[in-house]
Amino acid sequence: MTIIQSKLERIYESDDYLDGASYTTQACIIGSGCGGATLAKRLTDFGVDVIVLEQGSYVPAAKMDQREINMVGKLYADRAFATASDSSTTLLHGNNVGGASVHYWADSYRTPQDKIDSWQQEYGIKGHGSAELNPAFEKIEKSLNIHEATDPYFNVINQKIRSASKALSWHGHRVPQARKHCTTSGHCMHGCLYDAKQSQMITHIPTAIKQGAQVFANARAGKLVHQGSRVKQVRVDIMDPALNKPSGKTITINADVVAVASGGYSSSYYLMQQGFKKQLPALGKYFSMNPSTMVHSLFDEDIIQWRNIPAAWGIDEYRQRRYQQGQYKEGGYLLMPNQLHPPTLAGMIPGFGEKHQDWMMNAPKIGGTISWIDDIEDELGEIRLKSNGAREVHYPYGEKTQKVLKDSLEKQVVLNFEMGAKKVLIAGVQGIELNSINEMKKLDDVMLTSAGLFLASPHPGGGCRMGEDPKISVVNSEHKVHGWDNLFVADSSVFPSSSSLDPSLSIMGFSYIAADRIVDTLDGLIA
Ligand SMILES: Cc1cc2nc3c(=O)[nH]c(=O)nc-3n(C[C@H](O)[C@H](O)[C@H](O)COP(=O)(O)OP(=O)(O)OC[C@H]3O[C@@H](n4cnc5c(N)ncnc54)[C@H](O)[C@@H]3O)c2cc1C
């Protein structure tokens, strides 16, 4: 018996589903982050009937409480406890309606021109040049109120980093922000209680629903049922939000096209779970994650790094790597102020006992910086499917990457002393402290591999790389999975290489283009 449920004009949650219900739609999108929500918005602009599946919960402002430990549990995938296989890097991504955009910093950069050029010229992708991306960026910047950080967004650490970058003649910029009426509470990473941060949950998702989309929270996509090279149906487990496990209820979605937008850590994993690795050898490969080195520093005055927005000033002087006579010289990362609230700060300050206590007793006076490392193309990582069905994120931290890590730490030490720090602490197991710039030699002892440094990686990409050759890519320039008629991927996992900057706007721009190609496919099915 087919159970058909009447349509709700709000986000569906676990109790709303009838066990065994079946739905039919034109486009089923798996994931509701920047990739999936933007795709839903854009497809509904064209009048396409859409269902969005999101395995996580719907956590609107009314369910937020600004308590870091509660909110990380509610919003972050794996409660933010997952690491790469060598335990060296914390993997940060979303597990909620709106995905990571609900707990991101709202830095909103267009894809740098050098990356757009390289993706076209070196990786051969088509239809994703400035001519296609810029009109999309313009529309998204308008709908997300993206604007350069203004002076009221500058907390003490942002003021210091701006002055220091000017004193050092390191090129910097006001970071573009997706915000409206920001209260500068500093709780961006815990979900915005004021609905000021323009996450997907309060922008593209409500627009898509208004335009007819159905958004299913607590709905994890499982098996893709197909006939030949055509996906026909998605089987869905309804999740128990309290346990974060399947509740036993299931529903099915019959769809003309399916788009996987599960995020950089999950889209390739999802396709591997379907058994696609054999036909798509590049699945999971060419994985990038902008690993981020950090330093903490102690100042004489109060910094209170956890108030106001995280990053108003960014330093792009070293975004691109520089070489001298063929040898790596410096650079390959963006530098930014860091924002850590006391519980995470306590976890990221190395050591135990008295030394740790000394630092944490001075928590209001601690500031610091972070770097987003632009992944090196021949030292990329890989997402793998383990024999027990779990995901493994492997990242090699090769020799070239280690040089960049070291340089990023050196530059952060210079920057923090220029900012007026009295003491600088490298975020890593060894707890290496520098009392002045003259102690730079100490960085020679930093363990740059396997759990030596405390690294975070909130910007995953690759794993379903775009390209025309199915041996070294997973989707073609139309976002269509090689060998399939109606299966698409729309998120950062299609990036041919790391975007080198915070990727949310690039992901959304790509989703605009994916929407055009999906509409073409739907038109083809009708014709
Ligand atoms: C703390 C933090 C700060 C950040 N700050 C910035 C910033 O300032 N600027 C910026 O540009 N970027 C930032 N990022 C990165 C940015 O937020 C992400 O790159 C972007 O939001 C990713 O969007 P996405 O749609 O690809 O993936 P996600 O946001 O991860 O969304 C994918 C969704 O798919 C769901 N899903 C996965 N598998 C399934 C399944 N089988 N069935 C149903 N649903 C599924 C997940 O639950 C998730 O909600 C930050 C990230 C973090 C963690």
In this structure, what CATH number is given to the domain that contains residue 360? 3.30.410
The predicted structure's pLDDT at residue 1: 56
Which phi and psi angles does 483 have, rounded to 5°?
90, 0
Please give the single-letter amino acid code of residue 166: K
Choose among 74, 446, 418, 461: nearest CA to 265.
461
CA of 450 relative to ligand 1 center, distance in Å? 25
Same-domain pairing of 271 and 396 = no
Other residues' Cβ atoms within 10 Å of the Cβ of residue 126: 14
Give the mean model confidence (pLDDT) for residues 221-235.
98
User: Is 218 inside any structural domain?
Assistant: yes
CA of 460 relative to ligand 1 center, distance in Å? 9
pLDDT (tens digit per residue) in 140-161: 999 999 999 999 999 999 999 9
- Choice among 186-190, 209-213, 278-282, 498-502 with the minimum mean pLDDT: 498-502
Q: How many domains does the chain have?
A: 2
Kindly report the average pLDDT of the chain as a whole number: 96
pLDDT of 450 strictly over 90: no
User: Is 67 inside any structural domain?
Assistant: no
Other residues' Cβ atoms within 10 Å of the Cβ of residue 397: 21
The predicted structure's pLDDT at residue 104: 98
Same-domain pairing of 220 and 355 = no
Give the end of a domain, one of 426, 457, 488. 457
Q: In a mutational test of the pocket of ligand 1, which residue from 42, 153, 174, 459 has the highest number of ligand atoms less than 8 Å from its CB? A: 459
Same-domain pairing of 370 and 427 = yes
The predicted structure's pLDDT at residue 525: 83
Give the mean model confidence (pLDDT) for residues 22-42.
98
Enclosing domain of residue 347? 148-179+291-457
Cβ of 461 below 6 Å from ligand 1: no
Give the end of a domain, one of 437, 457, 477. 457
Which numbered atom of ligand 1 lies nearest the CA of 221?
42
pLDDT bracket for residue 88 (50, 70, 90): confident
pLDDT bracket for residue 451 (50, 70, 90): confident
Sheet of strand 294-298: strand arrangement: 172-174, 313-315, 333-337, 366-373, 294-298, 423-426, 433-434
Cβ of 504 below 6 Å from ligand 1: yes
- Choice among 316-320, 348-352, 467-471, 495-499 with the minimum mean pLDDT: 348-352
Same-domain pairing of 56 and 161 = no
Which numbered atom of ligand 1 lies nearest the CA of 35?
25
DSSP secondary structure of 36-99: HHHHHHHHHHTT--EEEE-SSB---GGG----HHHHHHHHBGGGG--B-TTS-EEE--B-BTTG
Give the end of a domain, one of 431, 457, 483. 457
CA of 99 relative to ligand 1 center, distance in Å? 4
pLDDT of 5 strictly over 70: no
Cβ of 262 below 6 Å from ligand 1: yes
Q: In a mutational test of the pocket of ligand 1, which residue from 29, 34, 76 has the highest number of ligand atoms less than 8 Å from its CB? A: 34
CB-based contacts of 127: which residues, under 8 Å, 6+ apart? 477, 478, 513, 517
The Cα angle at residue 468 between residues 463 and 472, in degrees rounded to 5: 45
Task: Give percent of the chain above pLDDT 70.
Answer: 98
pTM: 0.98
User: Is 197 inside any structural domain?
Assistant: yes
Bridge partners (DSSP) of residue 367 are 297
Cβ of 332 below 6 Å from ligand 1: no
User: Is 73 inside any structural domain?
Assistant: no
User: Is 366 inside any structural domain?
Assistant: yes
Nearest-angstrom CA–CA distance, 395 and 381: 4
455-457 and 89-91 beta bridge pairing: parallel
Choose among 292, 369, 367: nearest CA to 333.
292
The Cα angle at residue 403 between residues 378 and 189, in degrees rounded to 5: 85
Q: Whose CA is nearest to atom 4 of ligand 1?
A: 104
Strand, coil or helix: 328:
strand
Nearest-angstrom CA–CA distance, 477 and 454: 36
Distances in Å between the alpha carbon of 136 and those of 199, 239, 429? 17, 34, 43
Strand, coil or helix: 310:
coil
User: Is 350 inside any structural domain?
Assistant: yes
CATH number, domain with residue 243? 3.50.50.60
Cβ of 107 below 6 Å from ligand 1: yes
